[in-house]
Every structure is written in C-alpha cells, then in structure tokens.
C-alpha cells in the first residue's frame, strides 16, 4: 500500500481506511497517540533496564513502523481513543479488521502525512544497538527423545532471564543457563 492508502492487492475487499474514519485521526489525536506510544514504551524499558530511544526523532521506517500488531500499539491506541471518545470508531474498528495490520500502517502513515513523525532518515537503516551488549545470558535447550537429545544454544537478555524461563516452563524443552 502506498502512503495515500489507495492501493489494494486484489486479495481482499479492503482498499483503505474509509474517509469517515480518517477524519477522526486529527492532528491532536495522533499526537496523543504518539505520546501514549512513547510513555508505554519508556515504562517498559525502565522496568526492564533497557535503553530508551530518542522517540521524538524516530520515524515510520525506524521505531514506529516496527510496532504494528503489537500490544504496545494497541494499548496506546486504546488510551488515545478513550481520551478522544472514539473507541468504537477507531480502536474497535482496527481490532475487528481481518487486515488489521494494514489499518495499523494507515494510522502511522497518517502521522507522517500530518507531520507528527517523519517517514525515514539515514539512521533508520543502521542497527539500534549492539545485540551482544544486551544478550549476554547464554543458554541451551535440551529436548529429550527416545534414544537421543536435540540441543540448541542461544543468548538472551541478561536482565530478563525470568522471561525466557516463563516461555519454556511448560514445554518439552529443558532450559539450562550456561552463565
């Protein structure tokens, strides 16, 4: 889909956000939505001791375009919609669309159109951080089969070991920390 939201792929009846919905995406609403995204993301990062980005200078091709279909996106959208009394018109509409990811993109691209965020910058195509700086916890997963084991090795965020333990606690694989 292009930035105008006018293109479709021929595999769906969805060809863009209806004008009556688009008109609800005012500059004030979109600014509040951006603020909610930033606030929730910073709360999470502070809770897990992760670095914050310079969110005011982030772009669609950088941070904002990567958060579609996430809990961060929908929690922020819900809060902004509640503030502007458009929960049913926008939030529920977006949640009920079979092509919700396209709606997510259209909302973000409307932020670009209304000059709330920029589309891209050179830095968007560089890594945000050195993964080795944050993924210091080494682990192995062992899955036991009759007569043999399958072993996988990996790294994880050192400050969030419990998060990985929660993922594998009820699974068939045994998680073993190596450091």
Domain identity same for 150 and 167: yes
What is the value of pTM for the model shown?
0.64
Give me the helices (H) in the chain, please. 19-22, 27-47, 71-84, 93-96, 100-113, 131-134, 161-168
Task: For the chain, 179 residues long, give each residue's pLDDT as a single digit of tens.
Answer: 445 555 444 444 556 788 999 999 999 999 999 999 999 999 999 988 888 989 999 999 989 988 988 889 999 999 999 999 999 999 999 888 776 568 888 999 999 999 999 999 887 777 666 666 666 889 999 999 999 999 999 888 877 788 888 888 888 889 999 98
Domain identity same for 142 and 165: yes
Total structural domains within the chain: 2
Q: Which domain holds residue 161?
A: 131-177
| Angle ∠(24,29,34) on CA atoms, nearest 5 | 135
Domain identity same for 89 and 28: yes
Residue of 168, 107, 162 lying closest to 143 (CA atoms): 168
Domain identity same for 64 and 46: yes
Domain identity same for 116 and 139: no
DSSP for 81-107 reads: HHHHT-IIIIIIHHHH-TTHHHHHHHH
Domain assignment present for residue 106? The answer is yes
Domain identity same for 77 and 103: yes
């Amino acid at each position: 889909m292009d930035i105008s939201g006018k293109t479709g792929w021929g595999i769906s009846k969805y060809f863009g956000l209806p004008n009556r919905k688009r008109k609800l995406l005012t500059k004030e609403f979109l600014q509040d939505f951006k603020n909610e995204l930033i606030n929730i993301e910073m709360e999470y990062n502070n809770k897990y001791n992760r670095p914050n980005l310079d969110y005011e200078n982030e772009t669609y091709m950088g941070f904002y375009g990567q958060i579609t279909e996430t809990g961060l996106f929908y929690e922020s959208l819900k809060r902004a919609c509640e503030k502007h009394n458009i929960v049913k018109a926008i939030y529920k509409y977006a949640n009920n669309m079979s092509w919700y990811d396209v709606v997510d993109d259209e909302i973000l691209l409307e932020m670009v159109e209304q000059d709330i965020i920029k589309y891209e910058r050179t830095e968007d195509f560089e890594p945000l951080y050195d993964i080795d700086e944050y993924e210091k916890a080494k682990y192995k997963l062992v899955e036991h089969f009759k007569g043999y084991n399958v072993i996988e090795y990996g790294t994880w965020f050192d400050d969030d070991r419990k998060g990985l333990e929660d993922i594998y606690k009820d699974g068939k694989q045994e998680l073993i920390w190596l450091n």
